[in-house]
């Protein structure tokens, strides 16, 4: 017992000494690898010290064995073990306090010396498409490498940017500031971002359920609903989920060539947006999202006098059996758009002309609707139907029929096969696509990705 107690005490003192000396063992640059190495070194030192202590104990025991028993006055029975235990506790407390005092500044320093901890989350999405069409040669198309960066900025806002590298160069697709803690359920977004118009126009290409953006979004919105401006969104304090959005932008649509995005303009030449969206939960497994959008431009640049109205209605029905959400499901998504603006009679001439253009009000509609099933965690077959009228009212309408099959090889790797039969006024053709997309690095399941 005495030997045990003595051995324990020696070990504790040795441990304390070790920790007192340990600070020198910590490297100046306390990276994780270095710390691990230091820990290993400390383990080895500890083993060596234990070995030394063992040898010393053996020596002490040998010496003690040759001596007569101690002649000190015996303590009352039971008091000695109690005193020893109390002493041990005291030593333990002292050591613990000492260790904490020695370690704490180093732990704090460790945190402080990792400024990279403040680096934003970074992710990269790569999107590649092989296409083969009746009237075009086949092509491997590197579509994009999108670098996404996001982080909280302070207690009041967060920021994110999407830098898109394409064969044409690098473009800032989005770079936006978003409030996080405004009162009254308000959120303000500013900078360059995808305006809250409709259902799929504010999704990046690689996030679409199919290979290509629906024709109506390409023609009426101008690809992604990119806009430089500001947007205010409000979650209504109703029992029902209802959000209202108001936006103000230079223009909406990355490929909308009605206005020059960079040029200053009169207030009448900005685009103003209103959107209402709601959600109906039929039961645990079935629900519908509904939305209505309206983008108004009082004067568009073309003739300096034409106003433009773009109206959209969207519906997304989802069947998601809760207990099998990763393996079964169905989505039906539809969007209908209406465009009204003055367009030149006969369309824009291919070459500049001295003749003044004659404008006439043109209404055009378009829609897409798709149905997608989730058969397993990997396989998602679907069918997309496109219909769009010519905004100039010159050519007949275009239709497209696209069965597609998406294979999620993992959460971060996706293959998609698509066939499209394009029924356009001057082009009737079959098109085949194979899309291979991946995401690497940080990923967040944002609310818009649902």
Partner 1 sequence: MRAFVVSLLTLFTLALAHTPFAAAAEKIHVVTTIPDLADMTRRIAGDLVDVTSLATGVEDIHAVPMKPSFALLLNRADILVLLGLEAEHAFLPGLLEAARNPRVLRDAPGYIDCSVYVTPLEIPTRIDRSLGDQHPMGNPHINLDPVLGKDMARAIADGLTRNYPEHAAVFKKNLDDFTAELDAAIARWQREAAPLKGKKLVSYHPDLLYFAERYGMIPAGTIEIRAGVDPTPGHIAELEETMRRDHVDLVVRERHYPANLAATVAEATGAKLVELPVMVGGVPEAKDYISFIDYNLHTMLKAVQGG
Interface residues with partner 1 (CB under 8 A)? 180-182, 185-187, 235-238, 241-242, 244, 274, 276, 279, 281, 284, 287, 289, 292, 294, 309, 311, 318, 320, 322-327, 376-378, 410-412, 440, 444-447, 449-450
Q: How many residues does the chain have?
A: 450
Q: Which long-range contacts (CB under 8 A, 24 or more apart) does 324-330 make?
A: 326/377, 327/374, 327/376, 327/377, 328/374, 328/375, 329/373, 329/374, 330/371, 330/372, 330/373, 330/374
Give the shortest CB-265-to-partner 1 separation in angstroms: 23
What is the Cα–Cα distance from 192 to 261, expressed in whole angstroms?
11
- Residues 389/399, Cβ–Cβ less than 8 Å: no
Minimum distance, C-beta of residue 70 to partner 1, in the bound complex (Å):
45
Nearer to partner 1, 128 or 179 (CB): 179
Which CB atom, from 37 or from 90, has the smaller least distance to partner 1? 37
Task: Give least dist CB 280 to partner 1, A.
Answer: 9
For residue 228, what are the contacts with CB-CB under 8 A and spacing of at least 6? 191, 192, 249, 250, 261
Q: To the nearest 10°, report the CA torsion of 299, 303, 305, 307.
A: -40
Smallest separation, CB 445 to partner 1 (Å): 5
Pairwise CA distance, residues 193 & 230, whole Å:
9
CB 347, min distance to partner 1, A: 25
* Residue 347 or 381 with smaller CB distance to partner 1: 381
Q: Which is nearer to partner 1, 18 or 242 (CB)?
A: 242
Rounded CA separation 96/81 (Å): 22
Burial 402-421 (b: 16+ CB within 10 A, else e): bebebebeeeeebebebebe
Is the separation of the CB atoms in 381 and 402 below 8 Å?
A: no
**Do 210 and 418 touch, CB atoms closer than 8 A?**
yes
Residue 390 CB, shortest distance to partner 1, in Å, is 22
Distance in Å, CB of 421 to partner 1, minimum? 32
Give dist(CA 406, CA 377) in Å, integer.
11
CB of residue 227 vs partner 1: minimum separation in angstroms?
19
Torsion of CA 437, 443, 448, 450, to 10 degrees: 70
- Please, what is the minimum distance in Å from the beta carbon of residue 65 to partner 1? 44
- Distance between start and end Cα atoms, the chain: 67
Which residues, in sequence order, are bridge partners of residue 132?
432
Q: Which is nearer to partner 1, 200 or 422 (CB)?
A: 200
Q: How far apart are alpha carbons 35 and 59 in whole angstroms?
A: 36
For partner 1, the closer CB: 108 or 440: 440
């Amino acid at each position: 017992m005495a030997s045990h107690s003595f051995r324990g005490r020696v070990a504790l003192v040795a441990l304390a000494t070790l920790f007192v000396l340990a600070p020198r063992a910590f490297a100046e640059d306390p990276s994780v690898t270095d710390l691990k190495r230091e820990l290993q070194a400390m383990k080895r030192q500890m083993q060596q010290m234990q070995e030394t202590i063992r040898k010393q104990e053996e020596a002490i025991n040998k010496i003690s064995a040759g001596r007569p028993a101690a002649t000190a006055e015996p303590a009352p029975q039971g008091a000695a073990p109690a005193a020893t235990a109390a002493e041990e506790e005291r030593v333990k407390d002292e050591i613990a306090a000492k260790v904490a005092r020695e370690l704490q500044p180093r732990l704090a320093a460790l945190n402080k010396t990792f400024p990279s901890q403040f680096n934003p989350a970074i992710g990269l999405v790569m999107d590649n498409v092989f296409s083969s069409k009746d009237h075009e040669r086949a092509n491997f198309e590197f579509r994009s490498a999108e670098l996404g960066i996001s982080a909280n900025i302070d207690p009041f806002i967060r920021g994110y940017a999407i830098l898109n590298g394409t064969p044409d160069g690098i473009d800032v697709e989005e770079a936006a500031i978003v409030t996080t803690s405004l009162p009254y359920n308000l959120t303000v977004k500013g900078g360059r971002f995808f305006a809250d118009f409709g259902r799929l126009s504010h999704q990046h290409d690689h996030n679409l359920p199919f290979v290509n953006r629906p024709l109506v979004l390409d023609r009426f919105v101008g690809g992604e609903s990119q806009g430089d401006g500001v947007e205010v969104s409000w979650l209504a304090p109703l029992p029902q989920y209802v959000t209202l959005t108001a936006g103000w932008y230079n223009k909406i649509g990355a490929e909308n060539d009605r206005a020059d995005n960079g040029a200053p303009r009169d207030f009448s030449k900005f685009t103003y947006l209103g959107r209402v969206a709601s959600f109906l939960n039929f039961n645990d497994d079935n629900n519908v999202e509904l939305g209505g959008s309206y983008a108004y431009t009082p004067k568009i640049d073309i003739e300096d006098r034409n106003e433009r109205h773009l109206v959209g209605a969207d519906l997304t029905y989802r069947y998601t059996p809760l207990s099998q959400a990763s393996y079964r499901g169905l989505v039906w998504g539809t969007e209908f758009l209406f465009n009204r603006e003055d367009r030149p009679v006969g369309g824009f001439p291919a070459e500049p002309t001295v003749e003044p253009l004659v404008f006439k009000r043109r209404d055009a509609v378009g829609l897409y609707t798709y149905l997608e099933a989730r058969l397993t965690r990997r396989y998602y077959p679907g069918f997309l139907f496109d219909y769009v009228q010519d905004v100039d009212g010159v050519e007949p309408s275009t239709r497209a029929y696209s069965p597609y099959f998406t294979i999620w090889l993992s959460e971060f790797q996706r293959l998609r096969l698509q066939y499209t039969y394009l029924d356009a006024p001057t082009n009737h053709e079959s098109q085949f696509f194979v899309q291979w997309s991946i995401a690497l690095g940080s990923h967040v399941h944002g609310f818009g990705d649902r």
